[in-house]
Chains A and B, each alone.
Chain A
Amino acid sequence: MSDARAASGGWVWRAAKWAWGHVALLLIVGTFALATLSVARRTFVAPSISTGTGQLPALPPDAIVIRIAHWQLEAGFRDAVDALAKDYREKVNPKVFVIQNAIPEGIYGQWCCSQLLGGTAPDIMAPGLGLQWPIWVAYMNRYFIPLGERIKEANPHNKGSDLEGVPLFKTYNDSMRAGYVEDLRSYYGVPLYSMAVRLFYNEDLLKKLTGADRPPADYREFLALCDRISAQRDPNGLPYVAIVGSNYHAGMWEGGLYNPLTWTAIGKADINRDGYVSADEFFLARKLGLINFEDPAIHGRLKVMTEVVKRFQPGWLGLGRDEGVFLFAQQRAVFIPTGTWDAHSLQEQGSGQFKVKVMPFPYPSKSDPEYGSLAVAPPYDRPNNTLGFAITRGSKHPDIAFDFLRFMASQKGNQKFNDIVGWIPAVLGTKPPEFLEGFKPQYAGQYGIFTPALGGQTDVLWNQKSQLLQIGSLSVEEFLKQYGGAYGPAGQADFDEMQRNAVRSRRSGEQYLACLRHDALAATGADGALARYQYVQSTASRQMSPVIEQNRVERLAGGADPAPTTAPYDYSPELLARVRSHLKSQP
């Protein structure tokens, strides 16, 4: 027995000794074995599936699984994708099963990174959130499939509709521009919906507290209603809140109400007369004495902001999105500004308790005693389609993935999708859900000309001072004194930095253009001609026009060129002489 033990112990001892002598080899072999097992499992065994809702469907053995990732956790979105997936399976391809990966916004960027880099990305993803745009561009270039000629083919799922036979890109209300990635000069996204921001309100609560059975017609009426709301208390003795405020919701008023009021000053600040006023252009106009912060348009914009934030709940600046929505859901606040992405969720919050309606931001009427002269037209409001969904290079079924996206982008499919989710469709011949009638676009409207921040210094300055203005620590006049005093030097520093950045950007643009040139030279036929034309335009807009424009701006800012003696939109005596001459020469 003892001999046997000795023999056994000797065997173990020899094995251990051999293992110690080959420890490195064993480690490497073990690692390779694990890696091989992992790859084989991913390649040959059906992937484990987790859906956004946690439901695990029982899939037939010949199922074609299309995975789609997005960050839309709002009510209705996943239902809409599921419904369209079911329709697709029933009407187009019974083998296709669509599985959703609904990822929370906070980790979406990191999640996409790890999936794309690890080679485990879903077939379809929604690019654009959680990472800086240049990173998304690099990822799209490497990990996503450009749609290329596919957008020129008719969408087969439009058969029988008035879009039958129409190329896919022409079936969109924006000619599919939203799906185009400028930096890569190619279409990557299949857009499915538009987004816009408006004012939502609790119709029942508004009527109960004010007796009003329709939304306020203008800004003045809106303020009066807000004051009547704030003067009342709920059964617990707490005052009602007129408008939900939070650090998420407060900024929504900028484009809807505050900034469009500055449009009337466009003729003083649009130095290059292109119809827009950029942040550096405004700085220059102020430096040249063409406009100042005391201008009625700027003053009015600031005053309106103070009047609106006064109607928010106390302490709003420290609150986030969820706290704001909670206040609305509890029926303690009447108005909440937000985007279409929240429309369905708000409706669900109110379901069975109160009715949610939507209205444009209240705007001063032309007869408004204080702001009437600033309100020539309503604010410009055009819902924008989003980039939508793109197909990853790792997809085993890219054609089916594209066809499913096309199915959701067909006239009927897009209508159904957006009816379920409660959003604005992107395809021609569709209409928004009845609930969103208030989201009708407003063209020929006013838009902002005042961008407070040129760069880091002016951004910090604006944030500090405007917060003091909003919480009432500063009056508009005090704000203008403090902000206006510091804006000059801070703006000059940011302006100089912008000019330096423009030079750096030309240098860094050279390599981008080299790649574009390579693609243009490689492309053939009609695509080649288009690519070469686009290369020319890109080169000119990046490397040629900016040189000349920068010279012009620098000379104006540095005093080398004389400052204009008339405002940009005013006619000088010389110009009037030219006009007369032209008039005389006309028959």
Chain B
Amino acid sequence: MGQIEEFKINPLPSITWNWLRLNDVNVKWNMDIGPCNIEIKEDNNEKAKDADIWGDIKTGAGEAADVIFAGENGKANVAALSFGNSDNAEAADSNSGVCEKVVHVDITSNKTSSAGVLKIHGKENSSVSVIETFGKGGNGSIAFRTLVQAEKNSRVRLVQIFLEDQTLLNDVGCVCEENADLEVLQIFAGKGNLYNGIRTDLKGDKAHTEKSIGYLGQNKQVVDINLVVNHLGKKTGSEIQVDGTLKDEAEKTFRGTIDFKNGSSQSVGAETENVLLLGDNVVNKTIPVILCAEEDVEGSHGATIGELDEETMFYFASRGIDQELAEDIMTKGKMEVLYRKINDEVTEKLVEEQLAEVMGYDREEV
């Protein structure tokens, strides 16, 4: 057993009453850290140089987590991907938004405590989709940091699939330059706890990001999410959609911040969260924050939290479907809407099978 240290991570950029215990989260971490396995399945990438760009990228978990990923001993496994160049870039299909280049990255660990870092550099005009899959197995904890630098006119798509049984600290930091487009799709269907920090700085004018997050929390799982989008450039845009289901004694915290910095005129940010509560002992905490220092912007957020409404229940009942099955159908349906967006048949099947396992049903039944 290594030395256990306690950190406060996932800090809310603008804190509120301490008694709500929403300003950050305490995690205890085994500091006897070894490198996790990072398997990049397609090897036709130009390796990213360890240039200065990475040091400027801040992440959602916050600086307190730096010691896990780097620290004095630097035990985390570090990998890097770089795509395109100014002369010969993989351009996005401007009509479909589909990225031409798709790279699969499998992240696994059989150690008690492990860590890894992946740096993704989307060069000017490039287009890439990186699908990170956090595999099953293990019984310890894994910390993984993904840094994304999306240069001018690039399109980067980051898909993160969480299937692991162990506690995961997933820490993402992104910077988008002028007209860059970043999509992040996260699906959490694992059995362990998830601490998830994502920060995006829309630095360049017309930079845009879309975030879609889906989770299923059950048993005594903890799901703690800190999502921050900083609008710095003019005419920047952000769309955030978080959908989840909580069962049994699961506990979820969602901190979502849209921050319109001074100078981000004509920017638009929207955030919605829907939580389906299906357990008698669930805990759902939500704090959707909008910070605004610019006049000419539009920001909005909305949240709905509760069990299935009477109308939906009546619909199912009138078709002979009992409450338990109706709830399973809706839970799976919410996740399916998201995992169908992956646009990768193998990965979609993986998620589908995982959901069947964690929800305990045969696919034919539901």
Chain B binds chain A: no
Binding site for A on B (CB under 8 A): none
Binding site for B on A (CB under 8 A): none
